[in-house]
Structure formats: C-alpha cells, structure tokens
Amino acid sequence: MSSHRARLLNKVNLTDEIAEFRFQVLDGPLEGLEPGAHVDIGLAPGMVRQYSLCTWDSEGRWFNIAVKQEPDGRGGSTAMHGLAIGDEVELGGPRNHFALAETSKHITLITGGIGVTPILPMVRELQCRGADFRVFYVVRSRELAAMDSQFREMSLGDHYHLHCSDSDGRFDIAAVIQTVPVGGDVYVCGPEPMLEEVLNAGSDLRGGAIHFERFAAAATFATEENDSFEIELQSSGKVLEVGPQESILDVLRAHDVPVEFGCYEGLCGSCMVDVVAGEVDHRDGVLSPAEQEANEFLCVCVSRARSRRLVLQL
Ligand code: FES
C-alpha cells in the first residue's frame, strides 16, 4: 500500500483516551495535505488504518493525527498507542472524500468524539478564508473535549460552540439544522447516532447539502443474508461469480485484477470503481445517499448487487 514511510516524532495525551501523534514523513514531501483528508497508516502486516489529518506543515514534512484508544476495537488504536517515539510506519494516501466546498455561502460544522479530527483543520481553513461559519463541538463532558484548547487558540468567538451534555443537556441537532441559512451547507463527523440524526434532519435544509464522514460502516448490513451475483469486467468481457461470503474485492484480487484498496470496510473510498451497468446494493459509509442513488460507482470491498450482474469499468 505504501508510497511513503513515516517516523513517530511525538505523542501528546489530550484526554485519558485520546492522544495526538506527530509523524515525520521520511521520504516526503507528502502532497495532498488538506482539510478533510486522511492517510492510510500501516501499523503491522495486514493492519492498515485510516486517520484524518489534524495539523501539518505547509512543506508536507510532518503531520498530526489524533487517535482514541479503543481496547474493544480491532487492534488499530491499540497498535497506534503502543508505538514508541522513533518507530516507523508505512504511509498511504492522502485521500480526501470529505473536502470543503469552495462555494458554500454559510457552513455549519457539527462534530463529536474523535470525529473532531477532520473538523479542526476545516475550521482553520474557514477562518483563513474569512468564511461565514459556525462549529458545534458536542461532548459528554468538558474533560472529553480533546480539541477544545486548539479551537480556543484560534479565537473563534461566536463561531465556536462547545456543548457539554452533562451540563448543557441534550444537543438539539434538528433545531440547529433549522437555523441553517438558505443555501448553507452542513459538515458532520462524529458518532453514528449523531450522523444519522443530521442526515434525518437534512430535509429541513433549504438548498444546501450535508457532507459527512463515517468512522464505522453502517451496521444494518452486518446480519443481512447475501445472495451471489456476477460481475463483468468491461475491458475483457470476463464474467466472475461473487459468492454470498465473499466481496467483489475478494474476487477481483483472487483473479489478479488490479484494484486499489485500504480499509476493506467501506470507509476510506480507495476501492471505488465506476459502474457501467447493473444496480448496486451500496453498503459503504463514503458515498452520500444522492451519490449512491446515482449508481455511478461503488466500493468493491463491501457493496453488492441488486441485479444479477454488475458491469464494472475494469
Ligand atoms: S477499501 Fe476502503 S472503502 Fe473499500
């Protein structure tokens, strides 16, 4: 996966669970560092994880990410927190599926938990642009607000709202969405219930769009039974069968069809392939509902078919 290597330069604990890691790019510079982008970090053989960029230098020589330790997770955060200063990792990307639009008239950013990591550089960028924006940072209690001090250092004034549920009560997402001006966009990154609530309130938006990034694949598919289907590779006309227990990506790799991939769970967007024909059963967390409906591309690591055959631009 790697196009670069990086060395851990520094680690700072922001809360009991969240630490910020600074990596030096060893064979840089790293290009494409921008708000909303993430990098792939190879922590061990077969263990590649995606992390949103928080901070970086303009030369692309170093960058910071923040990672929450999740003892019950799949091991990535434990491996990251286990790194020692000077340890080296493989680096892929960056990629950006959560980029700030240039044209928005007004931007509302809503974030919570470790979802704050891509929102921080977005806010920096919006402040530099002199944009009309406001950010709502929702946490259970103040000591969990890992990035609060970094927001406050920016002197954001009324643009910044820290909401602590233990003292401020429940954060009313629908009420916030109703105050978005005509044509205003919403950016959200946080726990899945927060994301779902924003998406559900989206019909109250007047002309703007919701942009989001997920940290976990939509869980509703986990127990669904899968049918087999066919994929046809447009370039060769070759037809391959995808069984109930395998992904399109599994089948492509088994047949040595070159295709990029990263997370293997529909979150990073690196395995996106154009759809020529057929109806996709989208199961990723990257594409917006409108993009999924357009049926123009799919993430081959998780998505399946509603039609008997999908023709892919491969
Ligand atoms: S490999 Fe990450 S979305 Fe498919």
Distance 37 CA to ligand 1 centre (A): 15
Q: Report the CATH number at residue 303.
A: 3.10.20.30
- Residue 219 within a domain: no
Mutate-to-test residue for ligand 1 from 268, 304, 312, highest number of ligand atoms within 8 A of CB? 268
Do residues 118 and 209 share a domain? yes
Evaluate if pTM is beyond 0.85. Answer: no
CATH number, position 24? 2.40.30.10
Domain residues for the domain of 303 are: 229-312
Ligand 1: does its nearest atom lie under 6 Å from the Cβ of 80? no
Where does a domain end: 60, 95, 130? 95
Pair 86, 111 in one domain:
no
Same domain, 158 and 197: yes
pLDDT tens, N- to C-terminus, the chain (314 residues): 547 999 999 999 999 999 999 999 998 799 999 999 999 899 988 788 889 999 999 999 999 999 999 888 778 899 999 999 999 999 988 989 899 988 778 999 999 999 999 999 999 999 999 999 999 999 999 999 999 999 999 999 999 999 999 999 999 999 999 999 999 999 999 998 999 899 888 888 888 889 988 875 554 444 457 889 999 999 999 999 999 989 999 999 999 999 888 778 888 888 999 999 999 999 988 887 788 889 999 999 999 999 999 999 99
- 193 within domain boundaries: yes
Whether ligand 1 lies within 6 angstroms of the CB of 299 is answered as yes
Domain membership flag for residue 128: yes
Q: Examine residue 39 and state whether it is found in any structural domain, yes or no.
A: yes
User: What total of structural domains would you count in the chain?
Assistant: 3
How remote is the CA of residue 180 from the centroid of ligand 1, in Å?
Answer: 32
Which is nearest to 274 in space by CA: 262, 287, 255, 289?
287
Which of 95, 128, 157 is at the close of a domain? Answer: 95
Domain-located, residue 240: yes
**CATH code (residue 203):** 3.40.50.80
Q: How far is the CA of 43 from the centre of ligand 1 (A)?
A: 17
pLDDT score, position 3: 78
Residue 171 and residue 74 share a domain: no
- Give yes or no for residue 271 CB within 6 A of ligand 1: yes
CA–centroid distance, 270 to ligand 1, in Å, is 5
